[in-house]
């Protein structure tokens, strides 16, 4: 006989003599496709009748456990036989929802510390903690010192003791006037100017520094204490003094130089002795920099005031008198740039020329010459006349000549030999005289020339 696998059964009765776990005496393992007990049949078992055999049903004694059921979280049971139990911890506090009484709040779990008197069961023991250690009727969540029955939200606050009796978050400090001194040391806590650190004010019957005494002073000995004497260092200044014009409140009524005769003075910014009508003040005496008149028409220019002589043709009202002419001095209706003689009303561009009198009445630059009196011996021509820019000279006579240009006051402003033109740009508009002199004979001829502004 042969018993190859040594299981005590010979090969004539052992259906698999190569495997000691298979023989007629072995216990059948159901649902594994093996005939362990050599009875010719494999045992199939579904003990709980849930439709799953014991080879795939991880608990064939419980029909609620098999590969087809839905897993129930946090119960340590593998209902769906996937080898894992479902664990849920929504709030991530380390406690699953089967033991966490509020799995949406991480501060609530079996390991949390209970907070008293808030109606919340933080430690999931089924009770919310309530504490009133001092028995004053206020729980510790609202009692800021639950060890002292005199401290609670219903207690009356005691001022200036650094204790918050009524649990409002502040210890009552009474400093009604806000001067930094509490009512226990401030002798008048309704007045910030009165406290132990204040400076005593003399003669007002008030104890500012809370030392129990009021200060009385009359430093100048004029019979008035410093509380009513506005300058207690000057006996001439007190409520009974007579007000004088000195810029000082002599009688201590709060006003300076009141009741005195006043004059209006005007600022004299340019220092020419004449004031600006737009800037005046009333005073009982003349302030520095002010005058008693307002006749200066330009208080920024000391050369312009009623005492100055008018300078013609400068475009300024030098003497502050609009009636004084600055231009068209002869009143013929033509200003200087148009009138070749602004001192003679009979000479202007509208005047009638008188022939052969050596006068250019109509300001056209030459005198009217008759056929019998030709004074232009050189055949001199100036053009244009009046001129604004360049003046051209034409001399018909075959001579060498010198040209000179004079202002109307006789001042020589230009000269040259045998020139045929000259530039007048930059010259002051007005009347000028041109002289042509024969270099050989020294005979001269003059012509008026009018310069006009562009």
pLDDT digits (tens, 9 = 90+) for 113-146: 888 888 898 889 888 777 888 888 888 778 899 8
Most confident listed range (97-106, 145-154, 156-165, 264-273)? 264-273
pLDDT band at 366 (very low <50, low <70, confident <90, very high): low
How does DSSP classify residue 94? S
CA–CA distance, 143 with 53 (Å, rounded to integer): 66
Q: Does pLDDT of 197 surpass 90? A: yes
pLDDT of res. 357:
73
CA–CA distance, 181 with 54 (Å, rounded to integer): 90
Instruction: Give me the mean pLDDT over the 354-382 stretch.
Output: 66
pLDDT of res. 374:
38
Checking DSSP bridges between strand 390-395 and strand 421-423, what pairing results, if any?
A: antiparallel
SS3 of 234, please? coil
Q: Tokens in use for 35?
A: 């005939």
Instruction: Give me the mean pLDDT over the 89-107 stretch.
Output: 86
> What average pLDDT does the structure give for the chain?
86
Q: Does pLDDT of 372 surpass 50? A: no
Q: Does pLDDT of 371 surpass 60? A: no
Most confident listed range (47-51, 171-175, 293-297, 326-330)? 293-297
Sign of the Cα torsion 100, 106, 109, 111 reads positive
Q: The whole model's pTM is what?
A: 0.32
CA–CA distance, 83 with 299 (Å, rounded to integer): 110
Most confident listed range (9-18, 124-133, 148-157, 305-314)? 148-157
Contacts of 126 (CB under 8 A, 6+ apart): none
CB atoms within 10 A of CB 25: 12
pLDDT of res. 367:
62
Checking DSSP bridges between strand 290-291 and strand 263-267, what pairing results, if any?
A: antiparallel
Contact present, 331 and 340 (Cβ < 8 Å): no
pLDDT of res. 56:
84
Q: Does pLDDT of 375 surpass 60? A: no
Q: Which tens digits make up the pLDDT trace of 377-410?
A: 678 888 898 888 899 999 888 899 999 998 877 7
pLDDT of res. 373:
33
- 312 or 440: which carries more pLDDT confidence? 440
pLDDT of res. 376:
60
160-191: string of b/e by CB count within 10 Å (b at 16+)?
Answer: eeebbbbbeeeebeebebebebbbeebbbbee
pLDDT of res. 30:
79
Instruction: Give me the mean pLDDT over the 363-383 stretch.
Output: 63
- 252 or 375: which carries more pLDDT confidence? 252
Q: Tokens in use for 280?
A: 């005046």
Q: Is the peptide bond before 384 cis (omega within 30 degrees of 0)?
A: yes
Cα–Cα distances in angstroms (integers) from residue 371 to residues 376, 382, 396, in the given order: 12, 20, 18
Most confident listed range (41-45, 86-90, 190-194)? 190-194
pLDDT of res. 250:
93
Question: 335-454 has which CATH code?
Answer: 2.60.40.3080
Q: Does pLDDT of 438 surpass 70? A: yes
Q: Which tens digits make up the pLDDT trace of 54-86?
A: 778 888 899 899 999 988 888 889 888 988 877
Instruction: Give me the mean pLDDT over the 186-202 stretch.
Output: 90
Contacts of 121 (CB under 8 A, 6+ apart): 101, 108, 114, 127, 128
Q: Does pLDDT of 370 surpass 60? A: no
Every domain range in the chain assigned CATH 2.60.40.3080? 335-454
pLDDT of res. 391:
92
Q: Tokens in use for 365?
A: 């630059």
């Amino acid at each position: 006989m042969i018993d190859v696998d040594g299981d005590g059964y010979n090969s004539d009765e052992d259906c698999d003599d190569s495997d000691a776990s298979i023989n007629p005496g072995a216990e059948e393992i159901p649902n594994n496709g093996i005939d362990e007990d050599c009875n010719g049949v494999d045992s199939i078992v579904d003990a709980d009748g849930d439709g799953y055999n014991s080879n795939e049903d991880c608990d064939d004694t419980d029909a609620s456990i098999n590969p087809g059921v839905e897993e129930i979280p946090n119960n340590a049971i593998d209902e769906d036989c996937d080898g894992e139990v479902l664990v849920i911890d929504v709030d991530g506090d380390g406690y699953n929802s089967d033991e966490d009484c509020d799995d949406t709040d991480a501060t609530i779990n079996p390991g949390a510390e209970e907070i008293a008197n808030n109606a919340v069961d933080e430690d999931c023991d089924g009770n919310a903690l309530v504490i009133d250690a001092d028995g004053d009727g206020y729980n510790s969540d609202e009692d800021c010192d639950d060890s002292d029955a005199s401290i609670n939200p219903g207690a009356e606050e005691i001022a200036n003791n650094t204790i918050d009796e009524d649990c409002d978050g502040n210890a009552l400090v009474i400093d009604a006037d806000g001067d930094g001194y509490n009512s226990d040391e401030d002798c008048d806590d309704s007045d910030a100017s009165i406290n132990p650190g204040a400076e005593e004010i003399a003669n007002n019957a008030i104890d500012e520094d809370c030392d129990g005494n009021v200060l009385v002073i009359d430093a100048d000995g004029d019979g008035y204490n410093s509380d009513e004497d506005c300058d207690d260092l000057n006996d001439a200044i007190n409520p009974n003094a007579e007000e004088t014009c000195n810029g000082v409140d002599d009688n201590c009524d709060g006003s300076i130089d009141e009741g005195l005769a006043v004059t209006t003075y005007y600022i004299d910014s340019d220092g020419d002795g004449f004031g600006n009508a737009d800037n005046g003040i009333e005073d009982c005496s003349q302030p520095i920099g002010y005058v008693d008149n307002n006749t200066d028409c330009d208080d920024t220019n000391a050369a312009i005031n009623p005492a100055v002589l008018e300078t013609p043709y400068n475009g300024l009202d030098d003497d502050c008198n609009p009636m004084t002419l600055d231009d068209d001095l002869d009143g013929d209706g033509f200003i200087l740039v148009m009138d070749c003689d602004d001192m003679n009303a009979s000479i202007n561009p509208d005047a009638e020329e008188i022939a052969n009198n050596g006068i250019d009445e109509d300001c056209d630059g030459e005198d009217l010459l008759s056929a019998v009196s030709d004074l232009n011996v050189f055949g001199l021509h100036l053009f244009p006349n009046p001129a604004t820019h360049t003046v051209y000279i034409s001399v018909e006579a075959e001579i060498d000549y010198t040209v000179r240009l004079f202002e109307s006051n006789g001042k020589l402003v230009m000269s040259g030999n045998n020139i045929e033109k000259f530039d007048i740009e930059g010259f002051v508009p007005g009347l000028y005289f041109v002289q042509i002199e024969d270099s050989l004979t020294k005979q001269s001829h003059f012509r008026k020339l009018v310069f006009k502004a562009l």
